[in-house]
Structure formats: structure tokens, C-alpha cells
């Protein structure tokens, strides 16, 4: 296809009709902007997301490589590696025909219960901003456009479209706007997405103060502002605030009749329309420069180099939190019995839920990763396994366990216009699927009319159990569904439905379950009859055609399974427990109600620890969970949601092929009451007060003199490091910090030099210290290097003066703290600021 010539923006603004201009101010569909073929203005494709590029489809999507979640990637504390991750994201966007990636997410992990906490980077604005900048620079180095999100204070899911964030200007500037400010300064993202919520009484998508005055005028940013999906709540105010693009299409607030009338009646100045159209056209020009044609075909990236990058990022994301008696690393070549127990062992928990979720190109389970290491070591290790405890809210995906008539993996899907009761109905389409978590929201077919909101589908496959036992079989639906086993109705989620929280944003029914006895080795025909969302009496149609989730698994009696797990543990030389959360518990659309791991997991670990002293827990979660058993286990690894390579990266660290170097991107408190926002979280009558002000995360713990379970920046290694010879100096613009780092252990490894700055001011409440920058250094055993970290003086010394409405760099002596965590930054130096100054901008 011939590359489209660059557009002359100013000439086009003169040539476009009012109707054409209006069309450009909203998307044409879920993933594309609007085109004006008469003037050769193409439509532009955008794609989720923050941890992998999905493309244009939820249903039957072209698979994608999945990166570790945001809190995991930030735990690498490695800007160069994050840049490399961004480059891979850019390459994958090109393969999906996407001109722009809807990411990264750099909201603040204000509270670990936040449904999208896993998707953001950190509780710390500097780490968040530097991580976002590195990834954006990587994406844009591939000539793909990044969309930084969600501007601003989108830090909870509860009442997210309406909640009013009540926040001081100082906290807004120093904590929540700061990562966006750093990203604008250091990476210049070509688009930014607004948040759903209000800030101090006004929706972000129509806040002239935030969008026009701060972002554009004060920071000097000149890119495209787009809404979050369905995140526009007005017509004139959002346009006046320079929200250029409403997404998705078709529009709800920028219709032709309405806007034409408002312009012609002088309710909206045509200059406001032109100003917004100008930004859209500039964005289109930048997208044209990618060389990606309209409606490009999508393809998966199965390149081995992509897997290598995913593994490297995953390896450096993992944080070793506890290693008593050097229980880790385990030897892969020593004859021993290892029990591998837990609900996350044989399931790949590779991402959180919501818009960050995707169909992974592949995903390595912890079991597969561990087995591969055992094989590499000569198969001298005897592995045993049991699930130990249940974790899933609903029965897990069985798409890859089912088989078709010819014995291949997956199951057949057949689509009809007529209901199952219709005699001799004929299908209009058939295909094969390999996931029983089916979302048909964007299902399209040439024979299916665009306005046809009711159709039906049968999903048929064969299930062959490994055990003779009692099984549970279940489904939830956004629509209606019934499950038949060998043509016998066993689950009815059609005639008597209850609302539940299944599906994206919780639009589905409660999961309905039945029990049945199955015989090992016998093949059973599973058939699910599904009707789209409008066939349900619940009338939940926010997900278009809706969908169905179905599953089948051995029924687990918690106490009996616990006894089995303890028996395996008692007979083992070491125990690996892989546990944590899933994308059902951490997801866009809902916040966690508690910090505890659901179900029997805590009891499982406590009981196993009573019979085996050599217990290693691998926790997978995107944010903090309570760990009442932490003093009873010798090893603890925080593995986050590790992306496609998660099983390999967990095994790399456990068996010592990789020396862990990750550091905690967020504080893990001992109990929920220790969270700074504990008393001021979630929506109360449509309002949330950010009462902890600037004291988020470690800032609060240090100010209160409290100990965290695991502090911000903390992470162990299989080696030891010493810091010495700190030297602090300043030049006209920067603070320059030099420190010698020595590897005093017997293993090569990497250490993170973390530089914090503190300033006592009797007139102003300030944190004890704040992270200002960091650097990662790799050292062989016995090696020493001098590490230099430089950052702007004004960044190191400024706070937001609400009276002056400016940043203030106060005169005085500033203490520099250097170490390898917020709780271990004991090497100190200082520098002086001789004159108080004020500034605005970036």
C-alpha cells in the first residue's frame, strides 16, 4: 500500500467542513479515530495496553506477548531495561497494526486494595515517572505513539466514573501529578488519556485547570488529549478544556446535530472546534509517520528475541523478600524431594484483569518452569504436587483442556440467528476456540447485521478427566447459558439468574454450579448453549453481545486437601508454595475488599510450616497482601504477575540461575490498618478525601516512625554489597552523587543505588526523605564500581507552595541519603541551597 502523504494541518482546517471537523473529535469505533476520505485523512488505530499490545479484538484475539505487570516492571529499578521493554511494545504494536499504545499507566499505588494498583508502577512519584518515561521513550523509539494514562488521581475503582477526589493542591502536585510531569519532561508522550473521576469537584476530562492550564500552558506539552473509554461527561466544557478526542466511537457527547447547532448558535466558538481539530490532525500526522497503513492485518510475535526480553524483564522484576538460613537458591542437581503446592502452581497467572488482560501468545506456568529446571539438573529431584487450596472466584479456564472431534486442542463454536429450541436451525458461522472465558462484546461477522443484538452460540468439546472423582461444573454469563454433559442438562444459568460480578466491570451473572461423578479416562461431551446479553432477564447489555465463562474441575474439600498438602510437605526435603491472587481479584472495575489472600491459603502455609522448616513461598500479586505466616517460612519471593515467561522467571530465581535484584516498588504493610489511606479510601456518597495528603507509602511510615512488613525499595540478593565513599556535589543545575559499590559476596549480582533527599523545615511539614533518583549496577563477585547519579537541584529541593502557587526551592541544607532501600539508606551527605527561588513548569 502506498504510504499516505503528510497532511498540511492548517490548510486542512480551512478545507474541512464543520461536519467533517466535528467527526474528527470522536472515534469511529472502539479502536479507531474517524477518517475523512475526501481529504485523505486516514483513521488511526489505538490498542491496549500497559502490559502487552492486544490489538483490536477481545474475542478470538490474535495472541499477544504479555509483559510483567506495572508494579513488577518498576521493581526492576532498571531504566535501560524498561526502555528495552518499551521497544518491544513498539515492535508488537506495529505487528498489531496499532499506531498508538494506550499506556503506560502511571497513577499512584495509593492503596493496595485498588483494583488497578497492579497496572501502575509505584507509590512513589519519582519511580513512577522515571519508569513511565523509560517505557515511553522505548515505545516512541520504534516510531509508535504512546498514550500516558490516567490523568489524574484514578487511584481506585469504586464509583470511578463519579467519585470526587478531594485533595490539597500540594498533594496533587507533589504526588499525583508528579509522575506525569516527569514523563512529559523526559519523554514527551504524544498523547495522554484523561481519568474518569473528578478532582476537587470537576471531572478530569473537562477540567480546564488540569488539561489546559497545567498540562498545556504550564508544562508546555503539545500532544493529543483523549478520553478514557466512555469517560466524557459534557460537550462544551470538555472541548473548552482541550479534550481533543472522545473515545470510543460512536460519539455520545459530540454528535453532528448537537455540535453544529452549538457552533451556529455561538454556544461554542468555532475557534474552540478548530483548536481541538488541530491537535487531532497533528496526531494523525504523527501516526502517518509510523508507516502503518489503515486496517493493517494483525499478527502474533513468536520471535525468540521477544521471549528473551520478556524473561529478562521478568527476572529483574522478582523481589527476594526473605532468605533465612540461605534456603535459596535450591540446587537443581542435588537429589532431593521437593513438594510444589498451591493454587498458582499449574495455572499461569500472567496478568491482572480488565483492559490490561489479553490472550497470551504463550504462558509458562510455575510448574512447567520448575520441571524444566529439574530436567536441566539431570532429573535428580523428585517433584510432587497438589493444589493445597482453592483461589479462583469461578472455575478456571478449561479451553486448552477440551478437545474437538478430531482430538485437537480446544472446542468448536457454532453461531445461529435462532434459539436452541428452533427446529432445524442453520448456523451462519463456525470456528474453533481455546478459551472457555468467552467475551463476545466485539464479535463481528459478515452475515451478522450490525444492528442484530440477539444471536446464539453453541460451544462443544470433549473433556477427559484424569481422576475418578466428584467434579464441579459451572458457568456465569452476560446473557443466558446452559451446560449439557452427554446431552443432559447439568447447569442452568438461563431460567433463574442472579446478578454477580463476573466479566469485565462485573456485568455478568452469579456463577451457577452443579456436581457430577466422572470416571478417569472416559470422554465426556460438553455443550454450552449461549444466548447474547439481551436474552437475559437481567437486561445487562453494557458488554454488547455479552459472553459466557464455563469450567469444570475436581471438587476440592478444603480440609481434606489441606491434609493431603501437609502430608506431601512432611515427606519433602523442601516445599515451594506458589500462591497469591488472580485477575479475578485484582482487576479494573472493582477494588479488593480486604488485604488477605482469599480462601485457605494462609492456613495452608501455616500448617505446612509446622511439618517442614524449609518452606519457600512464591507470592503472585500486583500489590500488597497480608502475610500472617511470614515469620514461619524461611524463603519468600514476590513474583507479581510475571507475564508470559512467569514460570521460567520464578524457576530462574528459585534455582539460582538468576541472582534476584528486584526492589519493592511499593511498601507492603503488616496489616490493612497501617495503610496511610486506610480511613480515607473508597467512595462515600460520591467523595473520597485524600486525607494522608503527601504522606503516601513510605513517606507515611517514616514520618510516623512505623515499621513496614517490607519497606519501599527493599530486596535481597544471593550476594552482599557494601556502599562507601559517598561524595555529594552540585553544579549550576544538578546534584551529583557518587558512591562506590562493592560486591562482597561470592556470586555475581546487581544492586540498586537509591538516592533520597530530605530537608527539615520548621514551617513546612515535609517527609523525612524522598526518592529522587536511582541507578542499577551489575558487579561480579569481589568487583567494585563507582556509581554516579545526577538529578536537577530544583527537583531535589522543591515543594509546592500553595500560597505562591509555585514550586519553592527553599534556602537551607539538604541531606542526601544513599542506600539500597528506603529503610536502609544510611550513607549520608549534604548540599546547600543559598537562596530561595520559585518556578513553574517542568
Instruction: Give me the active site residues, please.
Output: 228
Sign (positive/negative) of CA torsion 310, 340, 615, 672? positive
Q: How many CB atoms lie within 10 A of CB 830?
A: 12
Cross-strand pairs, 842: none
| DSSP, res 213 | I
Integer distance in angstroms from the first to the last C-alpha of the chain?
A: 41
Helix (H, G, I), strand (E, B) or coil at 453: coil
Sheet of 524-531, strand order: 427-433, 411-416, 456-463, 524-531, 480-485, 488-493
Cite the beta strand spans of 345-447 per DSSP E. 381-386, 411-416, 427-433, 437-439
Can you give the three-state secondary structure of 471-513, one letter per residue?
EEEEEEEECEEEEEECCEEEEEECCCCCECCCCHHHCCECCEE
Distant-in-sequence, close-in-space partners of 60: CB < 8 Å, separation ≥ 6: 431, 433, 443
Cross-strand pairs, 831: 814
Sheet of 798-801, strand order: 798-801, 806-809, 837-839
Q: Are 207 and 164 in contact (CB under 8 A)?
A: no
Q: How many CB atoms lie within 10 A of CB 631?
A: 9
Q: How many CB atoms lie within 10 A of CB 686?
A: 10
Q: How many CB atoms lie within 10 A of CB 217?
A: 13
Q: Using CA atoms, how far apart are residues 594 and 575, in angstroms rounded to an integer?
A: 27
Q: Phi and psi (nearest 5°) for 172? A: -60, -45
CA distances from 288 to 17, 292, 298 (A): 22, 7, 18
Sign (positive/negative) of CA torsion 172, 178, 179, 181? positive
Return the CA Rg of the chain. 27
Q: Are 63 and 50 in contact (CB under 8 A)?
A: no
Name residue, grid cell 523509560. 134
Residue 808's H or E segment, with its range, is: strand 806-809
Sheet of 164-166, strand order: 202-203, 198-199, 164-166, 687-689
| DSSP, res 583 | T
Residue 341's H or E segment, with its range, is: strand 336-341
Burial 300-317 (b: 16+ CB within 10 A, else e): bbeeeebbebbbbbbbbb
Q: Phi and psi (nearest 5°) for 51? A: -130, 25
Taking each helix axis from N to C terminus, what angle separates 646-654 and 304-317, rounded to the nearest 10 degrees?
50
Residues in the chain: 842
Q: Are 244 and 192 in contact (CB under 8 A)?
A: no
Helix (H, G, I), strand (E, B) or coil at 428: strand
* Closest listed residue to residue 289, CA positions, set 194, 192, 193, 190: 190
HSE value, Cβ hemisphere, 13 Å, CA-based, for 596: 8
CA distances from 436 to 62, 235, 470, 528 (A): 16, 40, 21, 10
Amino acid at each position: 500500500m502506498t504510504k499516505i502523504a503528510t497532511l498540511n494541518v492548517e490548510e486542512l482546517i480551512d478545507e474541512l467542513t464543520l461536519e467533517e471537523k466535528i467527526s474528527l473529535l470522536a472515534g469511529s469505533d472502539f479502536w479507531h479515530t474517524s477518517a475523512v476520505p475526501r481529504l485523505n485523512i486516514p483513521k488511526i488505530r489505538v490498542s491496549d495496553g500497559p502490559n502487552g499490545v492486544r490489538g483490536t479484538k477481545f474475542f478470538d484475539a490474535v495472541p499477544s506477548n504479555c509483559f510483567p505487570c506495572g508494579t513488577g516492571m518498576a521493581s526492576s529499578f532498571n531504566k535501560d531495561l524498561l526502555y528495552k521493554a518499551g521497544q518491544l511494545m513498539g515492535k508488537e504494536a506495529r505487528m498489531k497494526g496499532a499506531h498508538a499504545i494506550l499506556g503506560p499507566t502511571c497513577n499512584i499505588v495509593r492503596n493496595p486494595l485498588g483494583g488497578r494498583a497492579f497496572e501502575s508502577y509505584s507509590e512513589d512519584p519519582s519511580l513512577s515517572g522515571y519508569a513511565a518515561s523509560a517505557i515511553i521513550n522505548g515505545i516512541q523509539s520504534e516510531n509508535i505513539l504512546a498514550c500516558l494514562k490516567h490523568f489524574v488521581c484514578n487511584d481506585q475503582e469504586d464509583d470511578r466514573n463519579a467519585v470526587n477526589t478531594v485533595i490539597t493542591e500540594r498533594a496533587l502536585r507533589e504526588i499525583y501529578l508528579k509522575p506525569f510531569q516527569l514523563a512529559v519532561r523526559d519523554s514527551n508522550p504524544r498523547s495522554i488519556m484523561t481519568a474518569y473521576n473528578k478532582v476537587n469537584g470537576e471531572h478530569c476530562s473537562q477540567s480546564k485547570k488540569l488539561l489546559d492550564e497545567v498540562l498545556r500552558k504550564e508544562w508546555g506539552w503539545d500532544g493529543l488529549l483523549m478520553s478514557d473509554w466512555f469517560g466524557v461527561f459534557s460537550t462544551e466544557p470538555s472541548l473548552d478544556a482541550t479534550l481533543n478526542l472522545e473515545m470510543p466511537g460512536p460519539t455520545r457527547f459530540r454528535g453532528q446535530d448537537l455540535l453544529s447547532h452549538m457552533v451556529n448558535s455561538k454556544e461554542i466558538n468555532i475557534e474552540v472546534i478548530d483548536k481541538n481539530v488541530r491537535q487531532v490532525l497533528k496526531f494523525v500526522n504523527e501516526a502517518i509517520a509510523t508507516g502503518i497503513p489503515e486496517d493493517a492485518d494483525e499478527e502474533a510475535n513468536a520471535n525468540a528475541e521477544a521471549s528473551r526480553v520478556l524473561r529478562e524483564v521478568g527476572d529483574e522484576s522478582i523481589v527476594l523478600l526473605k532468605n533465612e538460613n540461605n534456603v535459596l537458591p535450591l540446587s537443581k542437581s542435588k537429589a532431593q524431594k521437593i513438594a510444589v503446592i498451591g493454587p498458582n502452581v499449574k495455572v499461569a497467572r500472567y496478568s491482572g484483569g480488565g483492559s490490561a488482560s489479553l490472550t497470551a501468545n504463550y504462558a509458562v506456568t510455575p510448574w512447567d518452569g520448575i520441571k524444566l529446571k529439574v530436567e536441566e539438573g539431570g532429573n535428580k529431584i523428585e517433584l510432587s504436587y497438589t493444589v493445597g487450596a482453592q483461589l479462583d472466584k469461578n472455575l478456571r479456564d478449561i479451553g486448552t483442556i477440551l478437545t474437538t472431534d478430531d482430538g485437537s486442542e480446544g472446542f468448536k463454536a457454532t453461531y445461529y440467528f435462532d434459539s436452541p429450541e428452533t427446529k432445524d436451525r442453520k448456523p451462519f458461522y463456525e470456528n474453533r476456540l481455546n478459551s472457555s472465558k468467552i467475551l463476545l462484546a466485539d464479535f463481528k461477522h459478515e452475515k451478522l447485521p450490525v444492528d442484530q443484538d440477539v444471536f446464539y452460540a453453541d460451544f462443544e468439546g470433549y473433556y477427559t478427566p484424569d481422576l475418578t472423582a466428584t467434579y464441579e461444573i459451572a458457568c456465569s454469563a452476560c446473557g443466558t447459558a446452559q451446560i449439557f454433559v452427554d446431552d443432559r442438562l447439568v447447569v442452568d444459568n438461563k431460567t433463574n439468574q442472579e446478578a454477580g460480578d463476573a466479566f469485565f466491570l462485573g456485568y455478568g451473572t452469579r456463577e451457577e454450579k452443579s456436581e457430577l461423578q466422572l470416571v478417569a479416562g472416559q470422554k465426556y461431551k460438553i455443550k454450552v448453549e449461549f444466548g447474547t446479553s439481551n436474552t437475559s432477564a437481567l437486561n445487562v447489555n453494557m458488554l454488547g453481545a455479552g459472553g459466557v465463562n464455563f469450567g469444570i474441575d475436581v471438587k476440592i474439600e478444603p480440609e481434606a486437601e489441606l491434609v493431603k498438602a501437609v502430608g506431601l510437605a512432611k515427606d519433602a526435603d523442601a516445599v515451594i508454595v506458589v500462591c497469591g491472587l488472580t485477575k479475578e481479584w485484582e482487576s479494573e472495575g472493582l477494588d479488593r475488599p480486604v488485604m488477605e489472600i482469599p480462601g485457605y491459603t494462609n492456613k495452608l502455609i501455616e500448617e505446612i510450616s509446622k511439618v517442614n522448616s524449609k518452606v519457600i513461598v512464591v507470592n503472585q500479586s500486583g500489590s500488597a497482601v497480608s502475610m500472617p505466616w511470614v515469620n514461619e517460612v524461611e524463603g519468600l519471593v514476590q513474583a507479581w504477575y510475571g507475564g508470559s515467561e512467569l514460570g521460567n522467571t520464578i524457576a530462574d530465581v528459585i534455582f539460582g540461575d538468576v541472582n534476584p535484584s528486584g526492589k519493592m516498588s511499593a511498601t507492603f504493610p503488616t496489616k490493612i490498618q497501617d495503610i496511610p489511606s486506610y480511613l480515607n479510601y473508597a467512595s462515600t456518597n460520591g467523595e473520597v478525601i485524600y486525607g494522608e495528603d503527601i504522606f503516601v507509602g513510605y513517606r507515611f511510615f517514616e514520618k510516623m516512625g512505623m515499621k513496614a512488613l517490607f519497606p519501599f525499595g527493599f530486596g535481597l540478593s544471593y550476594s552482599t554489597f557494601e556502599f562507601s565513599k559517598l561524595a555529594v556535589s552540585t553544579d549550576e543545575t544538578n546534584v551529583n552523587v557518587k558512591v562506590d559499590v562493592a560486591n562482597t559476596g561470592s556470586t555475581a549480582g546487581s544492586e540498586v543505588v537509591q538516592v533520597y533527599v530530605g530537608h527539615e523545615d520548621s514551617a513546612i511539614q515535609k517527609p523525612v526523605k524522598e526518592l529522587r533518583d536511582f541507578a542499577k549496577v551489575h558487579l561480579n563477585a569481589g568487583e567494585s564500581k563507582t556509581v554516579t547519579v545526577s538529578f536537577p537541584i530544583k527537583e531535589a529541593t522543591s515543594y509546592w507552595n500553595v500560597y505562591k502557587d509555585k514550586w519553592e526551592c527553599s534556602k537551607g541544607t539538604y541531606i542526601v541519603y544513599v542506600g539500597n532501600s528506603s529503610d536502609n539508606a544510611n550513607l549520608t551527605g549534604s548540599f546547600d541551597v543559598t537562596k530561595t527561588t520559585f518556578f513553574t513548569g517542568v
